[in-house]
Amino acid sequence: MRTMKGLSEAHALRLLHASYDINEAGCWNWRWLDSWGYGKVAWQLADSRRWWMAHRASYELLVGPIPTGLSLDHLCRNRSCINPQHLEPVTIAENNRRAMKARVAA
**pLDDT: is 5 or 54 the higher one?**
54
Residue-level pLDDT at 41:
85
**pLDDT: is 17 or 43 the higher one?**
17
The letter for the amino acid at 16 is L
The structure's pTM equals 0.83
**Mean pLDDT for the stretch of residues 12-18:** 85
Angle, vertex CA 7, rays to CA 2 and CA 12, nearest 5: 85
Q: Topology of 3-105 in CATH?
A: Homing Intron 3 (I-Ppo) Encoded Endonuclease; Chain A (3.90.75)
Residue-level pLDDT at 7:
64
The mean of the pLDDT values for the chain is 86
Q: Is 49 helix (H, G, I), strand (E, B) or coil?
A: strand
pLDDT of 23 over the 70 cut: yes
Residue-level pLDDT at 39:
92
Which H or E run contains 62? helix 54-62
pLDDT one-digit tens code per residue, 57-92: 899 889 999 999 999 999 999 999 999 999 999 999
